[in-house]
Amino acid sequence: MKIDEIKTITLPKKRDEEFLKINFEALFSYDFKNVKNFEFDKNLKTIKDEESYESILFSIVKNFDENQKVLVIDKAINEPIILIHNMKEDETFFTNSLRIEVKENIKASIIELFVNSSNNSCFAVNRNIVLEKNASLEYVKIQDIHLSNSMIFATSCEQNENSNLEISNFEFGEGFIVNSFENIINKEFINYELNGLTKLKDSSNTSTLVKTIHNEKNSTSFVNYKNSLKDKSRAVIKIKSIVNQNAQFTKAFQNCNTILLSDDATIFAQPHLEIYIDELEASHGTTTGTLNEEQLLYLQSRGIRKEKAYDMLLNAFESSIKDNIKDEKIKEFIENYKKEKYV
């Protein structure tokens, strides 16, 4: 099965502004031997996905299966909910769709880990995150799949009044990855944070598309990405925030910082603000550079080996994303997940 031969799927095109700098050709022309729905271990109810989305990436999963599982969180949970997804079959196109509902006044945290022991497989994933009034969710996604594999991860968020959503996205894998995060803010007093760390090596290729639309007043969005790229790795980061006329007193912030650790590493970073009112706070910025040579020399002058000094500076750059996570158990999981048997 080749994705680009399926007539019912609307696929990204090279000329589409959203997907400029992202080459899907190798993935969409690959002849997968199997197509499978990746099942959850948990006993979750099933509904038909009748939502409409900004990104056409959602249509890929929906073409194969319009159903989605529903995870309802209606009581306080002290421990993070952990969902492990491990691709084990070669040359297989996996689909997986989940709706996460956090009920009114509930606070929760979720970790999703994507790993694999397969070759030449793809994970196509849709996520709908829905927060009711006064709900709060800390959601962490970790992607750590091998070089010959691919992943398309599309996330849509719906927040009701006075809700808080904090997403942390960690890209550690070596495959071809495309992420999409969209949030259309239609209620007041919303807080939405998206923090990301893209840590790549070898010939890893990761793209992240972020779109936030403010349609209602008194809400905040903050998108913050850090990228550290080694060898011949490549990253694309496109962050777009739209503040419409009814969204007075919005706060919309974007930040993207990159360290290139090789002459062959490549970053394409594009922050974009589209503003139609005056009564707001907004900013965007992007920086690209290398590790500070003066700081390296200073640490070495204090008796620290060059390799150790290098690691210390890189860790200091990357750690701010992990530090934003409030749940200490999530931080512990990120540090230790590779030691567990599911990886």
Name residues whose C-beta falls within 8 Å of residue 281's C-beta, 6 or more positions apart in sequence: 250, 251, 252, 253
Place 339 in a pLDDT band, splitting at 50, 70 and 90. low
pLDDT at 130 exceeding the cut of 80: yes
CA distance 236 to 22: 8
Report the pLDDT value the prediction gives residue 169, as an integer from 0 to 100: 97
Q: Mean pLDDT for the chain?
A: 93
293-301 vs 306-323: helix crossing angle, rounded to 10: 120
Question: Whole-model pTM?
Answer: 0.94
Beta bridge partners of 98: 69, 127
Q: How confident is the model over 7-65, as pLDDT tens digits? A: 888 888 878 888 999 999 999 999 999 999 988 877 899 999 998 898 999 999 999 98
Q: Which segments of 119-263 are extended strands (E)?
A: 122-131, 136-143, 150-159, 164-171, 176-185, 191-200, 205-214, 220-229, 234-243, 250-260
Answer yes or no: is pLDDT of 154 > 90: yes
DSSP count for the chain of H helices, then E strands: 5, 19
- Ranges of H-type helices in the chain: 25-28, 58-64, 293-301, 306-323, 328-336
Q: What pLDDT was estimated at residue 341?
A: 54
Out of 105-119, 179-193, 328-342, which region has the weakest mean confidence (pLDDT)?
Answer: 328-342
At residue 153 the predicted structure's pLDDT band, cuts being 50, 70 and 90, is very high
What percentage of the chain exceeds 70 in pLDDT? Answer: 99
In this prediction, residue 299 carries a pLDDT of: 82
Distance, CA of 213 to chain centre: 17
pLDDT at 307 over 90: no
User: For the residues 163-172, what does the mean pLDDT come to?
Assistant: 97
CA distances from residue 180 to 89, 236, 292 in whole angstroms, order as listed: 25, 12, 32
- pLDDT for 219: 97
Confidence at residue 135, expressed as pLDDT on a 0 to 100 scale:
98
Cα separation, 1 vs 123, whole angstroms:
15
More confident residue, 189 or 65: 189
